[in-house]
Amino acid sequence: MMTGKQRLEKEVTLELRNKYIGPSCKLFYRDDPLKILRASGTYMYDEKGHRYLDCINNVCHVGHCNPYVVSAAMQQMAVLNTNSRFLHDNLVLYAERLLTFFPKELCVCFFVNSGSEANDLALRMARTHTGKKDVITLDHAYHGHVSSLIDISPYKFNHPGGEGQADWVHVAPVADVYRGKYTDKDYSLEELSEKYADEVKQLCDKATKKSGGVCLFVAESMQSCGGQIVYPPGYLRQVYKHVRAAGGLCLADEVQVGFGRVGSHMWAFQTQGDDIVPDIVTLGKPMGNGHPISAVITTREVADSFGATGMEYFNTFGGNPVSAAIADAVLDVIENEKLRENATMIGSYLKQEFNSMKQKHGIIGDVRGQGMFLGVDLVKNRKTREPATAEAAYINKRLKEQYVLLSCDGPSRNVLKFKPPLVFSLNDAKELLEKLDNIMTEMEVAECEVNDAAKSTLNGTVNSHHKSQISNGHCSDIQVKV
C-alpha cells in the first residue's frame, strides 16, 4: 500500500489539501509546492522521480529513512509500545546514555513528544522552582507552537496574528554581531558580548524592580529563525551570571541545534565554553530522526522542586519503548558513522567555499555558523548591509528549479539557511556550491545586462553595488538570458 507510489495526481493532492487541512498550515514553495514520495540520505524524490538535494531537513538528522533507525523502530514496534508508567529498559538505558553527553549537573530526564511540549514543561518547571513568572527571551526567537510558548516567541507574537508582548515577557536584542543592535562595525567581539549581555542585565533589573526577580532566561544556543545567529564568545557566560543573580534559571533550547549539528560539540551551548551549564536543556526535532520524541534535561534540584509539588506529570507517549529505541538508534548512528566529525568537516569546507564565493559575489555579506548550521547573509550593499530579501527568495526559487532545497530566514528573510541531515557529503556540498555560484553569477550577469542597457540607452547612473559586481568582472558584454 505505502510503497512510495503516487496514489493521487499532484493537483488532486493539492486540492484535497486545500479542502481538508487547516489554512494556517503552510506549504513550502507555495506557488508550486513539492510533492515528495520518497527520500533517502540527503535526497528527496518527487512524483516525477526528480531527485532533490535536501539542505533543510534538520529533523531527518542521520539521513532520511536511515535503515538502521528504521530497523530499530520496526523491532521494537512489533514487540511492545506502551506508556512509561511501566518499567522498561529502553527508557532508562537511553536516559543514562543521553545524560553522558551533558555536564554532570544535568542529570534528570523528562521525555515528551515535541520541542513545544519540552519547552512548555521547562517553563512550568522554572515557574515552580523559582516561584517567579518573568521570562527574558531574545528578539526573533521561536520556541514552539503551544500558547505558553507563543507568549515567549517574538517571532510569533510580534508578527501577523500575534497578540503582542505580555507584561511578564522581556525581549532582549539578539546578540547578532552582523546586523543586531550592536555590530562588529563598531565593536570588538569582546565588547559585543558584554554589550549584549548588559542588555539582558538591564531586563533582569527591570523585572526585579517590577516583580521581584526573574523566572527564566530562554534562548536557542544558536538562533535559527533569527537568521542562523552565532553569539559572540563569552555571551552566555555573562548572561547566565546576570540571570542567576536575579534568581532566574537558564534554559538552552537545543531543539534545532542539538545532537551534534554544530559538529565540534554535541550541544551548541557547549561552544560557549566548558563551564557553561544551563539549568534546563530542551531537545527535539532530530532526536528521533522524524519520530516524535523530545526531552527536557535538568538538574536534580529543579526536578525535585517540580516533583515536590506532588503534581504528577504524565505524558501518554513520551518515552515509550519505541521512541526510546529509535532515539537510541539515532545516537548509535551519530557515533558509528562519525556524523559530528562529518558535520565539522563538511561544514568547514562549505564555510570556506562560501567565503571564497564572497570574494566573487558582492551579494554575500556574511557567512556564519558551524557544522551543519550555516547562514549566508545576503545584502544589497556590503557597507549598509541592507538585506537582499527579494534576491534571497529568487535564489531559493532558482535552487529549487535546479533540485536543491534551501530556505531563507531571519527577520528580513535574507539569510540562506543551511541545516541538512548530518550525512551531507562532500559531493552534496559541491553540488550546492556549484549551483549557488552559478545562480549568483547569472543574477549578476542579468543585472549588468540591464545596467549596460541602461547606460547605453539612458545614460543612467551605475550604483555602487553594481559597480562592485562589475569590478568583480561579471559584467562587460556577456549576454546570458536567465
Residues 47-76 that bind its own copies (CB under 8 A): 57, 59-60, 64-65, 67, 70, 72-76
Q: Is residue 446 part of the contact set for its own copies (CB under 8 A)?
A: no
Q: Which of 259, 306, 373, 424 binds its own copies (CB under 8 A)?
A: 306
* Cβ neighbours of residue 358 closer than 8 Å, sequence gap 6 or more: 364, 367
Binding status of residue 317 toward its own copies by CB under 8 A: yes
At 269, list the grid cell.
551551548
CA quadruple 61, 67, 72, 73: dihedral sign: positive
Question: Least CB distance from residue 392 to its own copies, whole Å?
Answer: 18
The only residue of 78, 164, 167, 481 in contact with its own copies, by rule CB under 8 A = 78
Minimum CB separation of residue 344 from its own copies in Å reads 25
Backbone φ and ψ for 142, nearest 5 degrees, come out as -130, 125
Q: How many residues does the chain have?
A: 482
Q: Cβ of residue 140: shortest distance to its own copies, in angstroms?
A: 15
103 binds its own copies (CB under 8 A): no
Q: At 369, list the grid cell.
A: 555558523
Nearer to its own copies, 115 or 263 (CB): 115
Residue 24 CA to residue 446 CA, distance in Å, equals: 36
Name the nearest CA neighbour of 34 among 50, 20, 16.
50
Indicate whether 109 belongs to the interface with its own copies (CB under 8 A): yes
Site string for its own copies, 253-292 (x = CB under 8 A): -------------------------------xx---xxxx
Nearer to its own copies, 239 or 334 (CB): 334
| AA identity, residue 160 | P
| Closest of 346, 318, 317, 329 to residue 425, by C-alpha | 346
Residue among 110 and 231 whose Cβ is closer to its own copies:
110
Smallest distance, its own copies to C-beta of residue 436, A: 22
Residue number with CB closer to its own copies (63 or 365): 63
For the CB of residue 262, give the shortest distance to its own copies in the complex, in Å: 19
Q: Which of 315, 402, 412, 468 binds its own copies (CB under 8 A)?
A: 315
Torsion-angle region of 259 (φ positive above 0: left; ψ -120 to 50: alpha; else: beta)? left
State how far the Cα of 200 lies from the Cα of 106, in Å rounded to an integer: 24
Tell me if 99 contacts its own copies by CB under 8 A: yes
Is 319 among the residues that bind its own copies (CB under 8 A)? yes
Are 286 and 58 in contact, with CB atoms under 8 Å apart?
yes
Nearer to its own copies, 234 or 292 (CB): 292
Among 101, 107, 403, 433, binds its own copies (CB under 8 A): 107
Grid cell, residue 57, equals: 531537513
CB of 411 to its own copies, least distance (A): 15
Residue 100 binding its own copies, by CB under 8 A: no
Instruction: Give the pairing type, strands 373-381 and 415-418.
Output: antiparallel
Closest CB to its own copies among 64 and 170?
64
Tell me the window of 169-177, 296-304, 396-404, 469-477 that interacts with its own copies (CB under 8 A).
Answer: 296-304
Per the CB < 8 A criterion, the answer to whether 137 and 152 are in contact is: yes
Residues 218-247 that bind its own copies (CB under 8 A): none
The three cell numbers locating residue 197:
549581555
The residue range among 182-190, 227-235, 295-303, 448-456 that interacts with its own copies, by the rule CB under 8 A, is 295-303
Residue 20 Cβ vs its own copies, minimum distance, rounded to whole Å: 4
Q: Report the nearest approach of its own copies to the CB of residue 240 (Å).
A: 22
Contact between 458 and its own copies per CB under 8 A: no
Q: Compute the distance between CA of residue 116 and CA of residue 20 in angstroms, rounded to an integer.
A: 24
Q: Is 263 exposed, middle or buried (0-12, 13-18, 19+ CB in 10 A)?
A: buried
Binding mask 323-352 for its own copies (x = CB under 8 A): x-x---------------------------
- 316 contacts its own copies (rule: CB under 8 A): yes
Question: Which residues, other chains included, contact 109 with Cβ-Cβ below 8 Å and sequence gap of 6+?
Answer: 95, 98, 99, 295, 296, 297, 319
Are 285 and 59 a contacting pair, CB within 8 Å? yes
Of 121-180, binders to its own copies (CB under 8 A) are 121, 123-124, 128, 145-148, 150, 156, 159-162
Q: What is the rounded distance in angstroms from the CA atom of residue 319 to the CA atom of residue 91?
A: 6
HSE, CB side, 13 Å, CA atoms: give it for residue 474: 27
**CA distances, 42 to each of 45, 62, 235, 261, 293 (Å):** 10, 9, 34, 15, 21
